[in-house]
Each structure stands twice: as structure tokens, then as C-alpha cells.
Structure 1
Amino acid sequence: MILVSAGRPVPRPQARADAKERIVVLKVVVLVKYTPDLTGTVRFADDGTVDRDAVEGQLSELDEYAAEQALRISENGGAEVVYVTMGPAAAAGALRKALSMGGDRAVHVLDDALHGSDAIATSAVLAEAVRKVGHDLVVCGMASTDAGMGVVPSMVAERLGVPQLTYARELTLAGDEVRIERETDAAVETVVAPLPALVSVTDRSGDPRYPSFKGIMAAKKKPVETWTLADLGPDTGGTGLSAARSATRSITARPPRQAGPRVTDEGEGQVALADFLASRKFI
């Protein structure tokens, strides 16, 4: 077991109460993403970006684990849970899905100028949105299910100037600190940092809850604010496809699936199977 400390001590957030007089100790912001359904056929537009209108979208499955951890914190100690996303108009569906699991409200950053933004621009926009919402703890999935880069959480933490605790398989709060367990190839690390901080969680952090009918109905009444880049200020410049540091050079369609070879076993089937596996370098 390795103990790692990150960041510097900060004052404990002051307790506050919402409109229902529920005592709220922390404000937890969960970053979520609207991603294409990977079971569908993903198509690309002429500019090299994913054609969002050609495939159904959903809340990124890895972000459901982040929502679950935030909701456990809220249930155990009292916290306001706010979901934040950046994406097209349909991304509101991802926010409603998260709100149906639980939580208090959501913010949707929606602007045509965001189309084609890369990870660097995305982190800038999300960081400004989190800063405007206010935060004691930011929770993210370890990566999105479409791009799978896993870099945005670290970028957001750097922009916010808070400690980052990444790839957590377990998340707990103790006093003024957040503590995680991170499993690596060499050891299980215990990483501790003062609040405010940012944590990204893995799919081993705890199964996300299934939205109940009551939760689905309640989510329809929870507030979802829509912000544009103008609402966030000048630090979100450099967005859009023209400012992206990476570009799609070419796109090749996945080849159609073909039937594999069929062997009639007349006493030599095991040899034919071994030859086939060897030709594919499986053995």
C-alpha cells in the first residue's frame, strides 16, 4: 500500500442550506458527456466529425459511475450534486438520465461555436462552467466511451488549480480531505488531497444505480440551465473545429463481416483448428 498526498490544505467549505432547508455541506459537480451509442452504426460528416444526427446518443456509461459516487457522497454526508455537460442540443438527454439517478440540477453548455472542439478546448469550457457553478469536489468518469482519451479530467483540474486524483476504484471523504484507492500494475495506492479537488473514477468504483420510475418522473422537474460561451467569459476562446490541435485526415469504413471457414471433422479437426489459430497468431 502506497500513501500519496497531493495539494495543500484549504479551509473546510461552510455548511449551507437549500430551499428545502436540507443541510448541504458540499457542492459536488459531476462532469458528464453525451456520446454515440456504440451498438449503432457511427457515421462521419464531411468535416470529419461524428454525425450526431445519424446515430442515437446516450449518457456515457463511464460517467454513470461518476454520478453514482457523487450520489453516495450526497446520501452519506449532505451535498448538492450538479451535473455539467458540453454538447449539442440532444445532450440534454444525458443530463436528464443523470438526474433520474439522483442529484439536484444540471448545466448544459450549448453553443454552435463548440462544434468540433478538441480535448484542450473542451477542458477550458468545462473548467469555466465548473468555476461558475462553484465546487468543492469535481467527479468525472475516467474517460468517455467514444474517444476514450482520458485526459480531460486532468486538464480541467489543472485549469481549476486543484489537486487531481485519477483512476479511483474507491472514493471517500474524511473531514477536509478526499481519499481514493488507485490500483496499478505494481501496487494499490492510497492518494489523499485537501478539498477542493477533482477525482476521476473507474468502472470498478461501484455499480451505478438504475433509475427508478419515481426518479425518472422527478428528473423532468429538476432545473437544467443552458449556457452559451458568452455566459462563461473570454477564457473559453479557441473552440471549434478550426482551432482544434488535432484533425481527422481520413476515414475508412469498417469492412463487412465475413463468414469464417467451416471444417468438417473427419478425424483431423483438431489439426485444422490448430492451423487456423496459428495462422491468426493466436497460438
Structure 2
Amino acid sequence: MISVTMTIAGSDSGGGAGIQADLKTFQELKTFGTSSITALTAQNTLGVQDVFPVEASFIVKQINAILEDFDVKAIKTGMLFSSTIIREVSNRLKDTKIPLIIDPVMIAKGGATLLQSDAIDAMIQDLFPIATIITPNIPEAEAISGIAIKSEDDLQLAAQKLLSFGPQVVILKGGHLSDESEAIDRVYFQDGTTLNFTAKRLPTKDTHGTGCTFSAAITAFIARGFSIEDAISEAKKYIHAAISHGLNLGHGHGPTNHFAYNDHVNKEMVSNG
């Protein structure tokens, strides 16, 4: 039976991030994607022109409609925009016992703010305690933890601070650490276990939606029954393929290639088998 996934996130009219990226990823990874839209954006590869948030009560109605009818195996959140939305979503999900992957979306690739400044406290107090995994990039981890990340020691301190807020696992994505020749995603578990997932850093501007796509891939693999470690490992392959095989679309930060994992990685596995 096919696994059902759900994304609670904003819409990207340009199709590279948000709900659109999540649903494409869910589809490519053989899960049935459902959604609750938190905001509409007027957006393309050049940036976000405007944001129109959805009423929190209607976001919850969308979630209710899905959970009352589908056996959802994993949920991810992306752009939640406001403290009100975060609290309403957290209150609805806190008793579901469904694995919850949080991508704490704050800033778009072009610099637009996608999370109101007063919403970080709500994220820490209401959302992180019920999270299975959170996937902040370095700027997001700095904003949430209050720790400037310049070194390996800083990464450890920030991770421990984030773990103290309650998630089972913290993934600190390394794409923003420009002094590293490789992109290293560092994974920290509540039991003290740490893992590193490394990929070659790629010289490209077409990285719009990488965070959404990576967290959606983790969600899909967890929904299919993968362990957390294996889900992260395979999601890393998925996003690396998506960045490696660019689509060359748009005039700004172009979207990643959601087809690439099945077009390249899986075919290579079959041919080498």
C-alpha cells in the first residue's frame, strides 16, 4: 500500500520551493502527497514579491480534512509565517503521534522574510517539543539558538541548544558554511549520537528550494518505513542529485531538479547491480 505524506507550508508560485517542491518530491519518492497551505506567495527565481497568509483556523481545517480521511505516515512543515499559525498547527498535531519533520523556514533565497520576528518563540515553545527532526540551515540555527556559528565548537553548542528545545534529532545543514570544500550536514540525536553526511560542494546558483526539497525527501523516506539515519542518508542523495543536474530555469536562483534522483541515482544503482 502506498504511504501518505503531508506538507504544511506556503505556496511558491514559481514552483521551486514550498508546497510545490514538497509535492514533487513526495511524488518522485513514491508517496501520496497531501497538503495544508499556510500562505500564498507571489514568487519566482528572482525573489518574493508578496506574501498573503492564510487564516490559522482554515489551515487547521485543511489538516483536519486530511487526517480524518487518510492514514498519514509522516508530516513536514515549512513556511508557517506567524506565531498564531505555529501555535494553532502545533496544538492540532501534538497528539497525532505521526513523525513530524520541521523545516524552520525564515528567509527566502532572495532575502525576503518568510517568518515574522515574533514567531521564533512560538516555534521554540510549541513546535520543537513535538518534532521528530528539525532541519535548520546555519542562519536559521543562529537565529533560533542565539549562537553565532563560526567553528565546529559553535556548531556543537548550537546543536545542543536546539536539542534542549525538545526535537529528537537536529540536522544542521552545512550549505552556508562557505569555508568548507564539502557540504556537510551534521546530525545530532538526543542520546548524544552524532553523524555527518558529506557531499561535494557544487558551484551553482540553482539552489532555490533545496531546504524544502531535502526535508520533504526525509519525510517521504520516513513515511516509507526507513530509519531516521537511512532516511537522512537517502534524502542527501536525492537533494545532491537535484542540485547536480540543474534545469537552468529562470533568471535568478533557479529551482533544483526533482526528477534527477530517479533519472540518475536509481538508474545508476540498477546498472551497477
TM category (shorter chain) comes to: 0.3 to 0.5
TM-score (norm 2): 0.32
Considering Cα pairs closer than 8 Å and 6+ residues apart, tell me whether 1 or 2 has the greater RCO. 1
TM-score (norm 1): 0.31
